[in-house]
Amino acid sequence: MKIYLSLLTLAFSITSFAFMSGIDPSRDTQGEIDIIGATIPLAPPSASVNAGYVKFTNTSDKDVEFHSFTSPVYDSVEMHVMEFNSGTAKMKQAKMILVPANDSIELKPGGTHLMLIGPRRDIKAGEQILMIAQDSLERRFMLKFNVVDFRESKVNDQNDHGHHNH
C-alpha cells in the first residue's frame, strides 16, 4: 500500500500540469469531466498487457457512465475492477465505469483500472498515449496518458545513451 501511494504521488506530480484539457471539442462536453493524472507506468518491452490510471472528476449534476475505451496504440482496452474474496484479489472485467454527479472516481493500482491489451508498437517513457472514452450518451472524451518510468534506473540511463537520434 505504501508503494502504491508513493507511485500515485509521483504520478500526480509529473502529470498534473499536462491535464488541463482532454475533451474532444467536437462534442459538447467541455468542462463536464476533469481528467487528472492520466498515467501509464512503463512496462517491460515484452509485456503484452499494461494498466492505465486516471482520476475522473464529474463537475456536472448528471452521472457519467463510461462504456468503452479505445486507443490506437492497443488492440483493446478493458475496464477492470478488483474483487476481493477471502483474502485474495482478482481482476474482473466491468461493463462500465460510473463517475457520479459532482463526484470523483480514481483508477489506481490495486483498484479499478484500465487494462491495456496488445500494444501495437514499442512504448517509450515520456510519450503520450491517446485514448478515447465513450459514455452512455455516445459522447467521446479524448484522454492523453503520460507514460512514466517509475523504475528511475541509472543502469537504464546508461543503456539509453547514444539513442537520442530521433
Nearer to Cu ion, 93 or 165 (CB): 93
Identify the CA nearest to 73 among candidates 44, 97, 52.
52
- Nearest residue to Cu ion on Cβ basis: 80
Nearer to Cu ion, 60 or 76 (CB): 76
The one-letter code for the residue type at 149 is: D
What is the binding site for Cu ion (CB under 5 A)? Answer: 80, 91, 115
- Residue pair 38/19 in contact (Cβ under 8 Å)? The answer is yes
**Residue 125 Cα distances to 12, 48, 105, 165, angstroms:** 16, 16, 25, 16
**Whose Cβ is closer to Cu ion: residue 18's or residue 81's?**
81
As a whole number of angstroms, the distance between CA 39 and CA 53 comes to: 5
**Minimum CB–partner distance for residue 91 and Cu ion (Å):** 4
CB nearer Cu ion, residue 8 or residue 91: 91
Q: Kindly state the smallest distance separating residue 161's Cβ from Cu ion, in Å.
A: 34
- Least Cβ distance, residue 164 to Cu ion (angstroms): 34
Torsion of Cα atoms, 15 then 92 then 2 then 48, to 10°: -60
| Smallest distance, Cu ion to C-beta of residue 92, A | 8
